[in-house]
């Protein structure tokens, strides 16, 4: 079965380098990613653009729009990008110019969607600062991918990253597709409800565990931990709207595949590991057609 990894990173972010070195043990380079993809049958990855202007600054209010995968240029055929948005600069006097740069980048067939770092940046997703971004998503028919749940930085603010904030957004922009990252963890039941209620909301299952295989084994063998996610998946009962992603380099790809295989009932594996991504991301389908997949 071919696999699409809808959520990885390939940007020069000090906390990702540190996690790769100390926790997950992956080789955080384009070559390292390609090797893991090849070994695991991953045919395409979508990277979440993010940049920091100095080591450790993430979430960086100074990073210019759009934020990219700056460890890889140009992107190899097996990778696409969601352009990262920094709302602080969008709201600044440079905002108009940066919006033009986002629009320019969205015209590239390397781009699969738009990524918002809710919580990391202290704006609600319904804030007017993002309105022109949603218009661009509509215009280019690309999904808006939204960080939800715990932030991988103590400088995030959780009230902005709670999955319930996306309910009103989805209501306001019914013709834009939204994907909640990390199933809103730890608010997975709230995320499940937002997915089940709103026809234009999907979720990815990335980043639910961070670390190497021994660390994963410990959690995978803890029923309370696994049931925390299973309850939300069973409640939503929308395996056609859940997408596989790893949040690499936060975890090795093969370990994460095993983890999601255990969470999701087998009859839904084709959907979750491959087909749902094509429904949410039309440009992923176009890219795969070109690659002959």
Minimum distance, C-beta of residue 50 to Zn ion, in the bound complex (Å): 8
Non-local (6+) Cβ contacts of 119 within 8 A are: 147, 148, 149, 151, 156, 157, 158, 160, 161
Number of residues in contact with Zn ion, rule: CB under 5 A?
1
Interacting span for Zn ion (CB under 5 A) from 37-45, 116-124, 189-197, 240-248: 240-248
Minimum distance, C-beta of residue 93 to Zn ion, in the bound complex (Å): 30
Helix (H) or strand (E) holding 44: strand 42-48
**Which two structure tokens, joined as six digits, stand for 247?**
């949040």
Minimum distance, C-beta of residue 153 to Zn ion, in the bound complex (Å): 12
Q: Binding string to Zn ion for residues 16 to 45, with x set by CB under 5 A, is what? A: ------------------------------
Q: C-alpha distances in angstroms, 250 versus 24, 32, 102? A: 6, 13, 27
Q: Which is nearer to Zn ion, 99 or 276 (CB)?
A: 276
Measure the CA angle with vertex 182, ends 120 and 226; round to 5°. Answer: 135
Residue, CB closest to Zn ion? 247
CB atoms within 10 A of CB 4: 25
Measured CA to CA, the distance from residue 273 to residue 270 in angstroms comes to 5
Non-local (6+) Cβ contacts of 194 within 8 A are: 163, 164, 166, 167, 170, 180, 184, 201
Does 81 participate in binding Zn ion (rule CB under 5 A)? Answer: no
Does 271 participate in binding Zn ion (rule CB under 5 A)? Answer: no
Q: Which is nearer to Zn ion, 99 or 204 (CB)?
A: 204
Minimum distance, C-beta of residue 269 to Zn ion, in the bound complex (Å): 22
Does 185 participate in binding Zn ion (rule CB under 5 A)? Answer: no
Interacting span for Zn ion (CB under 5 A) from 82-90, 113-121, 227-235, 245-253: 245-253
Applying CB under 5 A, among 51, 81, 204, 247 the residue interacting with Zn ion is 247
Does 51 participate in binding Zn ion (rule CB under 5 A)? Answer: no
Interacting span for Zn ion (CB under 5 A) from 24-32, 39-47, 212-220, 241-249: 241-249
Does 193 participate in binding Zn ion (rule CB under 5 A)? Answer: no
Does 204 participate in binding Zn ion (rule CB under 5 A)? Answer: no
Within 41-106, where are the H helices?
A: 87-90, 95-106
Are the beta carbons of 254 and 39 closer than 8 angstroms? yes
> Omega into 180 within 30° of 0, i.e. cis?
no
Which residues of this protein are in contact with Zn ion, per CB under 5 A? 247
């Amino acid at each position: 079965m071919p696999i699409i990894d809808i959520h990885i990173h390939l940007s020069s972010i000090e906390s990702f380098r540190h996690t790769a070195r100390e926790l997950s043990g992956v080789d955080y380079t384009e070559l390292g990613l390609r090797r893991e993809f090849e070994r695991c049958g991953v045919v395409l990855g979508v990277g979440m653009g993010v940049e920091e202007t100095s080591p450790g600054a993430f979430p960086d209010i100074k990073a210019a729009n759009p934020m990219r995968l700056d460890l890889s240029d140009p992107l190899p055929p097996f990778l696409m990008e969601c352009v990262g948005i920094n709302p602080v600069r969008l709201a600044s006097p440079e905002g108009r110019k940066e919006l033009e740069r986002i629009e320019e980048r969205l015209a590239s067939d390397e781009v699969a969607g738009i990524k918002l770092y809710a919580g990391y940046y202290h704006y609600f997703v319904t804030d007017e600062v993002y309105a022109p971004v949603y218009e661009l998503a509509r215009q280019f028919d690309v999904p808006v991918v939204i960080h939800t749940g715990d932030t991988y930085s103590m400088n995030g603010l959780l009230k902005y990253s709670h999955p319930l904030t996306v309910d009103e957004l989805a209501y306001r922009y019914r013709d834009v597709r939204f994907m909640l990252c990390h199933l809103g963890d730890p608010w997975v039941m709230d995320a499940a409800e937002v997915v089940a209620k709103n026809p234009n909301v999907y979720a990815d299952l990335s980043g639910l565990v961070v670390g190497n295989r021994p660390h994963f084994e410990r959690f995978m063998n803890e029923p309370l931990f696994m049931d925390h996610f299973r309850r939300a998946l069973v409640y939503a009962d929308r395996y056609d709207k859940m997408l596989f992603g790893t949040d690499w380099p936060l975890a090795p790809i093969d370990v994460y595949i095993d983890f999601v295989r255990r969470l999701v009932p087998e009859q839904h594996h084709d959907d979750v590991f491959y087909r749902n991504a094509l429904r949410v991301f039309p440009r992923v389908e176009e890219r795969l057609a070109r690659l002959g997949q």
